[in-house]
């Protein structure tokens, strides 16, 4: 324990410290015999957070904070403790001293400086690939993989989850396994549930989701034919009679983020219209994390667009005055100033405000190819030319996926399904639209003009087209 000399604390501080020791001792005795498993979150800046799991409905969980040798119990939500007071100069607050059993210091309390309590050293994990999380009862313990699992559209992925429980007191048939998807901070969508031999998948997961069943204690979910909509966070819940525990798994997808606006022009989409526009172009609204990753890969776009959480942002890799200024700050963690960043307008009024959209798409099950007729064709002729070869005019998202994931490179503009004309460049070169790779756009030409070839998309199983 790190503490100050008694003379520096005074009688009031010693009395307060004694209360703290009594309460901590009582809480420890109440949980005597339970295996202590701590949730190691890693480092963020100068802080090291060591926080146990917070169960649903629990008001607060204890944590401890460490900086310069001083440690203090965590904040009121067990996740975001208030900044540490300066050692022996600032008072602590009731929320800083909340105990796991939700016992509080008496109130009113003579708030005087207190000695900091050292965090217990974390026990070694059972497996470095798993993150143990302990329930309040100590009877059911769920383990999920840290970080995220990555797949692509059309792939098969295992969402890992294992559990331990007191087998002597309960049988396997009494354990219920439930998977849900987090659609909002306080909203969940049912994915899969199992109780003994009874298994059931819900909604779009029917026929695609099943338990891995790799021995006792395995609650891992196998998800086949992954879709764009499967992206997100999943919760694995294990219930043993009245006791339960949960773990979280994040499913990420390989893919590409692309900006989009319709023929009508820029800043014409409400949030709902942006969702529909992305879906029509073989995509979904991108998440803030996906946009940030795209910015780190070099995406530079000076028009604000909707994201799936209802926020409006845009990425700037090359700072300039029309795009937030040369010294504008990006969003938290996204950089800013001379290095650019992701500019953030925050959460907007979805039903009223108009912006563009940032869409996300993933791997294609089929193939995009360029078709060059004997002579340029209008849009209607381009659609007929694709259909004659068992294909359809490619959508914007399909062209972006072919460029990013299949390395399609063609320095010739072609019609796309939304009436725009674009072409993909993997290897930048003279006369092909600039020094950076990307999908070039010529806007939305008059559909009756005979100017271009066409990019077609053919579903899997069809033979490759003859070279155009």
- 8 Å CB contact between 114 and 92: yes
Q: Of 361, 362, 369, 367, nearest to 460 (Cα)? A: 367
Q: Is a pLDDT exceeding 80 seen at residue 269?
A: yes
As given in the structure block, the two tokens for residue 116 are: 């900091």
Instruction: Tell me which range, 35-39, 49-53, 376-380, 419-423, is most confidently predicted by mean pLDDT.
Output: 419-423
pLDDT tens across 166-214, in order? 655 555 567 899 999 999 878 899 999 999 889 999 999 999 999 999 8
pLDDT at 145: 74
Q: What's the 3-state SS for 28-49? A: HHHCCCCCCCCCEEEEECCEEE
Distance CA 27, CA 32 (A): 9
Q: Is a pLDDT exceeding 50 seen at residue 468?
A: no
Q: What residues form DSSP beta bridges with 400?
A: none
Residue finishing a domain among 231, 253, 275 = 253
**Residue 296 φ then ψ, to 5°:** -65, -25
Q: Are residues 136 and 242 in the same domain?
A: yes
Domain count, the chain: 4
Report the residue count for the chain. Answer: 468
Q: Mean per-residue pLDDT for 446-460? A: 90
Q: Are residues 339 and 270 in the same domain?
A: yes
Q: Are residues 16 and 66 in the same domain?
A: yes
- 8 Å CB contact between 100 and 63: no
Structure letter (DSSP) for residue 310: S
Kindly report which listed range (125-129, 253-257, 422-426, 437-441) carries the lowest average pLDDT score: 125-129
Q: Of 44, 16, 23, 77, nearest to 332 (Cα)? A: 44
Q: Are residues 221 and 288 in the same domain?
A: no
Structure letter (DSSP) for residue 197: T
Q: Are residues 267 and 239 in the same domain?
A: no
Q: Are residues 163 and 203 in the same domain?
A: yes
Number of other residues whose CB lies within 10 A of the CB of residue 359 = 32
Q: Are residues 310 and 196 in the same domain?
A: no
Q: Are residues 281 and 353 in the same domain?
A: yes
In a domain, 126, yes or no: no
**For the domain that residue 219 is a member of, what is the CATH number?**
2.60.40.10
Structure letter (DSSP) for residue 355: B
Domain that holds residue 446: 364-458
Q: Are residues 428 and 393 in the same domain?
A: yes
Residue finishing a domain among 253, 275, 310 = 253
Residue finishing a domain among 54, 72, 97 = 97
Residue whose structure tokens are 């926020």? 311
């Amino acid at each position: 324990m790190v503490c100050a000399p008694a003379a520096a604390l005074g009688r009031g501080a010693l009395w307060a410290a004694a209360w703290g020791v009594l309460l901590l001792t009582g809480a420890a005795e109440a949980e005597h015999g339970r295996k202590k498993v701590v949730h190691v979150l890693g480092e963020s800046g100068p802080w090291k957070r060591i926080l146990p799991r917070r169960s649903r409905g629990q008001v607060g969980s204890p944590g401890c904070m460490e900086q310069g040798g001083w440690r203090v119990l965590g904040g009121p939500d067990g996740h975001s403790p208030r900044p540490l007071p300066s050692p022996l100069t600032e008072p602590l607050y009731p929320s800083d001293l909340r105990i796991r059993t939700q016992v509080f210091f008496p109130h009113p309390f003579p708030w005087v400086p207190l000695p900091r309590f050292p965090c217990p050293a974390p026990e070694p994990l059972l497996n470095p690939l798993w993150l143990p999380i302990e329930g309040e009862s100590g009877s059911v313990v769920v383990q999920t993989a840290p970080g995220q699992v990555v797949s692509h559209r059309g792939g098969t992925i295992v969402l890992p989850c294992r559990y331990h429980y007191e087998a002597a007191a309960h049988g396997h048939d009494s354990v219920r396994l439930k998977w849900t998807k987090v659609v909002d901070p306080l909203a969940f969508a049912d994915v899969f549930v199992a109780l003994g031999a009874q298994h059931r998948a819900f909604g779009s997961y029917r026929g695609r989701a099943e338990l891995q069943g790799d021995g006792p204690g395995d609650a891992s979910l196998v998800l086949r034919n992954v879709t764009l909509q499967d992206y997100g966070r999943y919760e694995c819940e294990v219930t043993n009679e009245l006791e339960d525990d949960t773990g979280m798994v994040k499913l990420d997808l390989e893919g590409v983020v692309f900006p989009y606006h319709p023929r009508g022009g820029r800043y014409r989409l409400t949030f709902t219209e942006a969702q529909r526009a992305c879906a029509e172009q073989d995509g979904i609204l991108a998440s803030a994390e996906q946009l940030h990753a795209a910015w780190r890969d070099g995406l530079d776009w000076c028009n604000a667009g909707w994201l799936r959480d209802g926020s409006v942002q845009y990425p700037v890799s090359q700072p300039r005055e029309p795009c937030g200024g040369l010294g504008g700050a990006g969003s938290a963690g996204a950089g800013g100033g001379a290095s650019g960043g992701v500019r953030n307008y925050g959460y907007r009024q979805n039903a009223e405000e108009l912006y563009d959209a940032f869409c996300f798409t993933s791997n294609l099950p089929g193939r995009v190819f360029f078709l060059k007729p004997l002579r340029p064709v209008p849009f209607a002729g381009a659609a007929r030319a694709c259909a004659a070869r068992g294909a359809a005019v490619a959508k914007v998202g399909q062209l972006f996926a072919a460029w990013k994931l299949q390395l399609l490179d063609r320095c010739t503009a072609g019609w796309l399904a939304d009436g725009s004309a674009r072409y993909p460049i993997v290897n930048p070169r003279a006369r092909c639209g600039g020094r950076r790779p990307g999908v070039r756009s010529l806007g939305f030409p008059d559909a009756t003009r005979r100017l271009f070839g066409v990019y077609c998309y053919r579903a899997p199983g069809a033979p490759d087209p003859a070279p155009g």
